[in-house]
Amino acid sequence: MVASLIISCFPRTQSLYRHETTHRRAVLSYVLLVIAIPGCERPTPGDPDVGPGGRQQHLALSPRQELATGRRVYQQVLDEFRGKILVDDSSESRRVDVVINRLAQATEIEPLQREILLRVRGYRFEWEWHVIREPQVNAFCLPAGKMVVFTAILPIAENDDQLATVLGHEMAHALAHHASERVAREQSGANILRSLSYDRMQESEADHIGLFLMTFSGYDPEQAVAFWERMHSAAGTHGKPPEFLSDHPSDEHRVRDLQEWVPKAKAAKKAFDEGRIASGR
């Protein structure tokens, strides 16, 4: 039952703009099943704490639950796509491997964690990934760092800097515990427009965190702007809902934000490289 629930929620579309919503709904559905099991550790939903950027963030899952959820859903995905998983020494896998390894190393930089105000103490991130041969333009990161990259998204990223844009964004969702936060909102019974607003906030937050991750990994943050400008030109405006009815920021909004953040990310990386940002440990 759980397997069919997860797989039925995966996208069957070529749209880059829909993939994040669909797979996160799959995660949310499965997480709600996990925490409903009697005897599971259940933190009090809605306990406030400081999240990325200093905002109040309500989480429903404990670190142990996040790890267990990521592992279980990841296995469900691999079972579904068995036979389509690329071997580790394929050119596609090697390309993804290099980018994710560099991004994962950046997640360990303590001054960067402080800069973004990530809540990572007590959490375990098992950065593990597979590339799957699929025509879906899709990549996603489950709780605790389990990642899947579909081959169709690789040509969309013209270079490794643009691939780091996509993968850094996805990793940011795990680092910011967005799945756990969505479970807490689901439990609170938030109305649809409020939920969409929160979803757009999470997407912008993942853009921001991902931009800093790629910059501290040595990738060019200007390529994040170039990537989304190209996506906007390719997609146009046909069939896209107004931003307030969408779960993603508009492309124009996304590009404007990234253009504002690029100089800040570059300045932070320069200060770190020059030793002007000391470790707080």
- The residues carrying an active-site annotation are 170
Asked if 147 and 141 count as a contact pair (C-beta separation under 8 A), the reply is: yes
Cα–Cα–Cα angle for 206, 211, 216, nearest 5°? 125
Scored b (16 or more CB within 10 A) or e, 86-95 reads: beeeeebbeb
Output Rg (C-alpha) for the chain, integer angstroms.
18
Beta strand spans in 125-202 (E): 128-132, 139-141, 146-150
215's CB contacts (< 8 A; 6+ apart) are: 221, 265, 266, 268, 269
Residue in 193, 141, 188, 167 with CA at minimum distance from that of residue 27: 141
Q: What is the DSSP letter of 67?
A: H
Distance CA 188, CA 175 (A): 22
Asked if 228 and 177 count as a contact pair (C-beta separation under 8 A), the reply is: no
